[in-house]
Amino acid sequence: MNNDASSAGGTGSPRPNSHPPIKSGRVGVLIANLGTPDATDFWSMRRYLKEFLSDKRVIEDNSLTWKLVFNGIILTFRPRAKGRDYASIWNRERNESQLKTITRSQSEKLAASLVGVDDRIDVAWGMRYGNPSVGSAIDELVAKGCDRLLFVPLYPQYAAATSATACDAAFRHLMTMRWQPTLRVAPPYYDDPVYIDAVATSLRDALGTLSFKPDVILASFHGIPQDYFDKGDPYYCQCAKTVRLLRAALGLDEAQFRLTFQSRFGPAEWLQPYTDKTVEALAKSGVKNLAIVTPGFSADCLETLEEIAVENGDIFKRNGGDNFAAIPCLNDSDQGMRVIREVVLRELKGWV
């Protein structure tokens, strides 16, 4: 349905001739992921890191010491180092990050899978940091006539530094609008049977392609400071439940399938056990074959393609390990799209 303005006395809603044209009656689905720099050069990386690390959901420290370190050291030296990391996994054909490529494809495949469900549905994608922004994606959907929006942060497990800040971006943009669309937010899906089955199936398939059988499999999740958990963030509990359900689905015990946390930043204590320290300890203890799966990431990105596949692979082999595999994320695979489509259709009930 497309309810453009109609003149008084005409069909549809009687609007005066001077009424501005307004499109409405459509339903938008907006999927969102963390973000991406526009390029790998110093200034692009600095702009991205400044936006990301200035977010009070990400770094809750507001002390003078942090401000001096952030502006004087991090934004001076970190952009070059992270730029080199991004350059090592950059999609040079499209001149963009892998996360951007995959998220776009997820959006396109989701739209294709919803054809025939309801012809009023439009799909868009956005990033919490970088481009395209969540706000620009909302504008895109509203311009098409979407007055109902389903916002889907692609984080299976909830954390204030991911899910909540993505919602903050959506809510802030709605604050600028005179006619706000009705907004729904999809909840985390860490224990959804479809998600658990998809990760387990994808992992089994990937293991079947390896030339070795892992002695241990690590389920590595992005970490958060221990202090955030102590204040009430449910992230650790949801990661632990995901791992428990995956163990059951895979028929593995706690020694064979272990929970770890990666990507810590700064001197503070983060959720443990740490992935890199666990990888090192396993290699030194005589484990020769190791695989790591990253169920908390809906798409491969710097943290999986460089930190896990490269850095942790090097740690394992440097300390005595022989065979190492980083298992791909669900991405835009059939299993990955099955999860996203299921979440979307479940949350659109009553609207379509």
CA–CA separation, 154 and 121 (whole Å): 19
- pLDDT tens digits along 82-120: 999 999 999 999 999 999 999 999 999 999 999 999 999
> Are the CB atoms for 260 and 274 separated by under 8 Å?
yes
Higher pLDDT, 173 or 62: 173
pLDDT band at 213 (very low <50, low <70, confident <90, very high): very high
306 located within any domain: yes
Is position 333 within any domain? no
Report if residue 188 sits inside a domain. no
| Domain-embedded: residue 117 | no
Q: What is the mean pLDDT of the chain?
A: 95
CB atoms within 10 A of CB 95: 11
- Is 278 part of a structural domain of the chain? yes
Mark the binding-site residues, compressed into ranges.
222, 303
pLDDT recorded at residue 19:
75
Q: Could you tell me the two tokens for 101?
A: 């490529």
- What residues are designated binding site for Fe(2+)? 222, 303
Decide if 61 is inside a domain. no
pLDDT at 203 > cutoff 50: yes
Tell me whether residue 331 is in a domain: no
* pLDDT at position 13: 61
Flag whether 92 is in a domain: no
Which of 106, 9, 180, 129 has the alpha carbon at shortest distance from 335? 106
Q: Decide which of 17 and 110 is more confident.
A: 110
pLDDT of residue 18: 78
Cα dist. 261→78, 158, 268, 308 in Å?
A: 22, 15, 14, 11
Split into its structural domains, the chain has a count of 1
Domain that holds residue 266: 193-326
Residues in the chain: 352
pLDDT at 6 over 90: no
Residue 41: how many CB atoms within 10 A of its CB? 15
pLDDT of residue 23: 85
Asked if residue 71 has pLDDT above 70, the reply is yes
CATH code of the domain containing 287 = 3.40.50.1400
Higher pLDDT, 23 or 40: 40
